[in-house]
């Protein structure tokens, strides 16, 4: 049994869209590719047929994995989250005490993490270090390069 994973409404929507796309577009395409390769003759020496069957198998494995993730997905209710502490879905503005650089991150579930958009996972070293902290506190976070100290400047939710 797979572990329960938590999603925002946006993340759950993306998961559903990918699953729908694989089922409604890619699955028929894979079947058509197999039929086309089958029409080309002897199946024992047909590399195109073997490749199409393998691609279909990989697609079915991906669909099964996404269905399992979807069945164990839980939507996070943001209305019940405390805004005085850093929690999942918190927007956190932090200041690196060693260089004075300020950064703003949103803490999200691991499945939705995307550093380019400022979303970091709550299971990442920085995410774990920030969880439960309040404004004004300093989070000491051990990373492979040493210990980083971040001051929590503000916490908000959008």
Q: Quote the pTM value.
A: 0.62
Question: Could you name the CATH architecture of 85-156?
Answer: Roll (3.10)
pLDDT at 8 exceeding the cut of 80: no
Q: Same topology for domains 5-75 and 85-156, yes or no? A: no
Q: What's residue 86's pLDDT?
A: 87
pLDDT bucket at 70, cuts 50 / 70 / 90: confident
Q: Can you read off the two tokens belonging to residue 80?
A: 């019940």
What whole-number percentage of the chain has pLDDT above 90? 32
| 5-75 placed in CATH 1.20.58.1180 | no
Angstrom distance (rounded) from CA 53 to CA 59: 10
Q: Can you read off the two tokens belonging to residue 98?
A: 């060693």
CB 149 within 8 A of CB 140: yes
Angle at 79 between CA 102 and CA 113, to 5 degrees: 45
Angstrom distance (rounded) from CA 130 to CA 143: 13
Q: What's residue 78's pLDDT?
A: 66
Q: What's residue 17's pLDDT?
A: 93
Instruction: Map residue 39 onto helix, strand or coil.
Output: coil
Where do the structural domains in the chain lie, given as residue ranges? Answer: 5-75, 85-156
Tens digit of each residue's pLDDT (9 = 90 or more) over 114-134:
889 999 988 888 888 998 898
């Amino acid at each position: 049994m797979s572990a329960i994973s938590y999603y925002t409404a946006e993340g759950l929507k993306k998961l559903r869209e990918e699953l729908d796309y694989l089922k409604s577009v890619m699955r028929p395409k894979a079947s058509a590719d197999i039929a086309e390769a089958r029409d080309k003759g002897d199946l024992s020496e047909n590399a195109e047929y073997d490749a199409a069957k393998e691609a279909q198998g990989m697609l079915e494995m991906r669909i099964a994995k996404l269905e399992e993730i979807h069945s164990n997905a839980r939507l996070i209710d943001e209305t019940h989250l405390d805004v005085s502490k850093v929690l999942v879905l918190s927007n956190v503005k932090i200041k690196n005490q060693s260089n004075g650089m300020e950064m703003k991150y949103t803490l999200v579930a691991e499945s939705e993490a995307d550093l380019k958009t400022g979303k970091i996972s709550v299971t990442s070293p920085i995410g774990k270090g920030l969880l439960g902290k309040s404004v004004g506190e300093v989070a000491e976070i051990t990373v492979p390069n040493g210990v980083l100290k971040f001051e929590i400047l503000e916490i908000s939710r959008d």
